[in-house]
Amino acid sequence: MVRIETKNACNEVAIVLQGKRDEWKAAGKNLFQRSGLLHGYAAKLFYRELKRQLM
């Protein structure tokens, strides 16, 4: 199980994820759609950051 804290975290990744979450909520996505989209988007962000750190 994975839990992404977007309400309580205060770093740059959390701010980006909060914006995406709010964007999808405004677009009418339900809770399960938003959760799946958010997890996928977070994985992409973390993978890009990992690649940047390794280069």
pLDDT at 1 over 60: no
Does residue 35 form part of some domain? Answer: yes
41 located within any domain: yes
Please check whether residue 40 lies inside any domain of the structure.
Answer: yes
Total domains, the chain: 1
Q: How many CB atoms lie within 10 A of CB 17?
A: 20
Residue 23 lies in a domain: no
- Assigned domain for 52 exists: yes
Range of the domain at 45: 28-55
For residues 25 and 6, the answer to whether their CB atoms sit within 8 Å is no
pLDDT tens for each residue of 16-45: 888 999 999 999 999 999 989 999 999 999
Check whether 15 has a pLDDT greater than 70.
yes
pTM, to two decimals: 0.77
* Residue 2: inside a domain: no
